[in-house]
Amino acid sequence: MCFSATADTAAGLLVTAVGADALRRAHRPADRALGSVPVVLGAHLLVEAVVWHGLTGTVAASTGRLAMWIYLAIAVVVLPVLVPLAVRAVEPDPGRRRAMARLGAAGAGLAAIYLFGLVDGPVDVRIEGRHLAYQLGMSHGGVLAAVYAVVTCTPLLLSSERRIVAFGLANLLAVGLLTWLQSSALTSLWCAWAAVTSVAIATHLRRQQTGPEVRMHAA
């Protein structure tokens, strides 16, 4: 993913459609909060497709810059808050819920730091090989990235649901691998990987909704 505008568009449409279907089947507000995660991540890829088009001249450069700001705002301001709170909403265990709430508070603090960095700048994006490299002019970027990984992956690993844990584990491993391979690729490629693996959340919600019906037929 993220190897071209076409790849972003195809993956974004697929993940958004799968997430929207799961969200449509979710009746509880808690399930809808979790179901919004794949929808947001799928839309995130579609926004990055516009960033690609802006850099290659397919659309106006100003449109591409606007898409870059939206992409980064979702990546570093929305997701650190959305992920822990959405997972907490469906978690039945009180102890795990408290831990997720603390991670959500840490995510909110991190989001505030990143928001200040986005406003203060400089912020830029360029094509680097087969991915986009986003540049945020912030000090202690490595520490912030580590905190980001903790607040976006740990709540998933604390979940009582195996599919949600699998989603978190896949993304945590991807963070480590991408940081080791090429840190400039982290924002773009990790978000793409997270979008694709978020299908696990959509699958969980679909099965959760069809479960009672299946049991009723089996009875």
The candidate with the shortest Cα–Cα distance to 8, out of 132, 92, 110, 128, is 132
pLDDT digit string (tens) for the chain, length 219 residues: 456 888 888 888 988 888 888 788 777 888 888 888 888 988 998 999 999 999 999 999 999 999 999 999 998 999 999 999 999 998 999 999 999 999 999 999 999 999 998 998 788 998 887 778 888 877 777 788 888 888 988 999 999 988 888 888 887 887 777 665 555 566 667 667 777 777 777 777 777 665 544 333 333
pTM value is 0.82
The candidate with the shortest Cα–Cα distance to 84, out of 32, 156, 19, 148, is 156
Handedness of CA 152, 155, 158, 161 (dihedral sign): negative
- How many of the other CB atoms lie within 10 Å of CB of 89? 16
Contact at 8 Å (CB) between 37 and 53?
no
Residue 201: the pLDDT is 77
Handedness of CA 110, 22, 29, 214 (dihedral sign): negative
d(CA 209, CA 27): 8
